[in-house]
Amino acid sequence: MAVIKGLKKLSDRLNQLDKKLAGKALRNATRDAMKPIQRRAKALAPVGREMHRNKSGSIVGPGYMKKQIRIRTRLKKGKATIMLGVTKDAFYGVLFDEGVTISKRKGKVLKGSYRLKPKHWLTKTFLDNRRQIENDLRKNLKKEIDKIT
């Protein structure tokens, strides 16, 4: 959980607003703060060289995972949660980020395995730009509160 310092004044101003408006302002501010990071993640995402099937079974081309990087926001009990990741159809994006050992089997017989080395493209994007996210969140939250009041 990230706690951002210097938001005491903004937090107090946010608490003075109507709950529904405050929630909307918080969601908009967090989403806007993550958009530049989403663009960077798309630029760093690995791209394959062959057509393949996604989780739904559809045949997709190289670069499909890059198009499936999404921002999701949730507001629950006054806390905003924001997630940056790939959709379920492009689940393999997480495997590229974290690394995995893949075993090839024929029936119950192990025919070999190989290790997919972690590339940390998504994690690296977030960690390298953490300060920018914090600064953008401050700026965007101030802008959203000013827009409402």
Give the residue, 107 or 140, on which the prediction is more confident.
140
For residue 81, give every residue at least 6 positions away whose Cβ sits within 8 Å of its Cβ, in sequence order, or none.
Answer: 73, 74, 75
- pLDDT mean across residues, the chain: 84
Predicted confidence at residue 48, as pLDDT, reads 86
**What residue ranges do the domains of the chain occupy?**
8-89+119-137
Residue 15 has pLDDT above 90, yes or no: no
Query: Residue 1 — very low, low, confident or very high, per pLDDT cuts 50/70/90?
Result: very low
Instruction: Give DSSP secondary structure letters for 13-60.
Output: HHHTS-HHHHHHHHHHHHHHHHHHHHHHHHHHS---SS-EE-TTS-EE
pLDDT exceeding 70 applies to what percent of the chain? 89
pTM for the complete prediction? 0.77
pLDDT digits (tens, 9 = 90+) for 48-106: 888 988 888 899 999 999 999 999 998 887 778 889 999 988 888 887 788 877 777 66
